[in-house]
A = this chain, B = another copy of it.
Amino acid sequence: MSMSLSKSDLVPKFLINGYFGDNLPVTDRGLQYGDGLFETIKVHQGRPLLWSRHIKRLNKGCERLKIACPAESILAAETDRFISPDLDAAILKIIITRGSGQRGYKQPVPLRPTRIIALYPYPGYPESHQVNGVSLKLCVTPLACNPILAGLKHLNRLEQVLATTEWHDDIGIVDGIMKDVHGNVIETTMANLFIVSDQALYTPDLSQCGVAGVMRGKVLELAKELQLTVSERPLTETDVLNADEVFITNSLNGIWPVNQIEQTQFVPGQITRQLIQQLHLSWK
């Protein structure tokens, strides 16, 4: 089956363990315990972008959670059932859970992971976000630190859910910066964060919490191609507010310059522009 998604197709479509459907058993551990992982992938001109990186992260996450990751060939074949060459833009979401089980935390035997492939319409953020930048809030909701879950894009996302209740879209805020319980800046609710200070690039260390974004990994590579000095280390709020440039990255939106954090204004800068350009070149 092949399909394309126009603006009028606003209803997401799901393939659950290979079958089209909208429902999941209530016994699924994804629901019961948030026991699983997900990937959110941009589809552009009939192609899921950064596919290999997404699959690699999914496998790594499954390994850490001790869930058998479905073979890439299965995920690719099921993704192909959604994506036709004329599909201009969409969001592909893959969810893997530990599957259904009896009550209780113990792993079900036998373990049959659930895979959900979903296609959502592309939200169509204003083009100006990438040109003029976006405004961010500093969230009060902290991120907990736990090395066993750090970096993973797992289904335990209550912290992000609570952080997004701290602002309203209608006052122009696009996302919120989250700090860990010790006050280190880690990421935004839906993106990773980079700063430029004295021509060098910095992004928070994610060994204790945060999601190691696929686009973050891509940008770190692009920065090396551009021979920029890059460092992953703890960043404070002061580091960020005093930076020359700030930008955020995720798989859906690529690189967005930040033009404001609370009362502090920023101008989208030279290094941010260079990286955006390098990213666009890498899609060719």
Chain A residues packing against B (C-beta within 8 Å): 12, 14, 16, 21-35, 38, 40, 65-66, 91, 93, 95, 97-98, 102-107, 116, 118, 120, 141-149, 154-165, 169, 181, 189-190, 209
Copies of this chain: 2
A146 touches which one: B24, B118, B142, B147 (CB < 8 A)?
A: B142
22 pairs, CB–CB < 8 Å, chain A vs chain B: A12-B103, A16-B26, A24-B24, A24-B25, A24-B26, A26-B118, A31-B31, A31-B95, A31-B155, A32-B95, A33-B158, A40-B103, A65-B158, A66-B162, A66-B165, A91-B103, A104-B190, A142-B146, A142-B148, A144-B209, A145-B181, A147-B181
Give Cα distance in the complex from A260 to B144, angstroms. 31
The 6 A-B residue pairs whose C-beta atoms are closest, nearest first, are A34-B34, A144-B144, A156-B156, A144-B146, A23-B23, A33-B157
Task: Apart from A24-B26, A30-B31, A65-B158, list 12 A-B contacts with CB within 8 A.
Answer: A12-B103, A16-B26, A22-B25, A31-B95, A34-B34, A141-B148, A142-B146, A143-B146, A146-B181, A148-B162, A149-B158, A149-B159
A98 touches which one: B22, B103, B118, B161 (CB < 8 A)?
A: B161
- Residues of chain B contacted by A158 (CB below 8 angstroms): 33-35, 65, 149, 154-156
- Asked if A105 and B144 make an inter-chain contact with CB atoms under 8 angstroms apart, the answer reads no
Give Cα distance in the complex from A28 to B26, angstroms. 10
Give Cα distance in the complex from A181 to B118, angstroms. 35
- Asked if A25 and B26 make an inter-chain contact with CB atoms under 8 angstroms apart, the answer reads no
Closest partner residue, chain B, to A169 (CB atom): B106
User: Known interface pairs A105-B189, A160-B105. Does A26 touch B27 (Cβ–Cβ under 8 Å)?
Assistant: no
Give Cα distance in the complex from A164 to B32, angstroms. 15
User: Known interface pairs A34-B34, A156-B157. Does A120 touch B103 (Cβ–Cβ under 8 Å)?
Assistant: yes
- Residues of chain B contacted by A145 (CB below 8 angstroms): 144-145, 181
Give Cα distance in the complex from A97 to B155, angstroms. 14
